[in-house]
Amino acid sequence: MARYTCSFILSVPLDQLQSLLVELLQDCQFDVQYYTSDYVLAREFLGSVTISKLVTVEVLIDKSTATEAETRMSIVIKNEELPLQKDNHCRQIFEYVKQAIENCRYWHLIESIAG
């Protein structure tokens, strides 16, 4: 199973972050399947790649440490594909979503740490 993670510290009001993330993931061509105030689950649409390569994005928002100045969140991007090549489909999607988060105009990126 391919799995890539990244943590972010963003300057954005906590009450706006979840809706902005849902919009960002939809703009990245993901089907947002479930969300709460501190969690978002989205998947690629069927038909774009084989089932084993379908990517799932999970976003975890750390409400316990959020302040008016900053909010921490983590993303986990994974699929059932074995990461036999460094530049696999899951990695490509991870880089695409990571760039979209880092360059989003709705917040200021303070820090990004890929794991």
Gyration radius of the chain's alpha carbons? 14
Supply angle C-alpha 102, 34, 53, rounded to 5: 70
- Residues of the chain with pLDDT > 70, as a percent, come to 100
Confidence (pLDDT) at 83: 81
Residue 70 identity:
E
Q: Which residue has the tokens 């989003």?
A: 104
> CA 40 to CA 23: how far, in whole Å?
11
Q: How far apart are CA 90 and CA 50, in angstroms?
A: 12
| pLDDT tens readout for residues 40-95 | 999 999 887 889 899 999 999 999 998 888 999 999 999 998 888 888 999 999 99
Domains and CATH numbers, the chain: 2-114 (3.30.530.20)
Do 93 and 77 form a contact (C-beta atoms < 8 A)?
yes
Global confidence as pTM = 0.92
Mean pLDDT of 8-26: 94
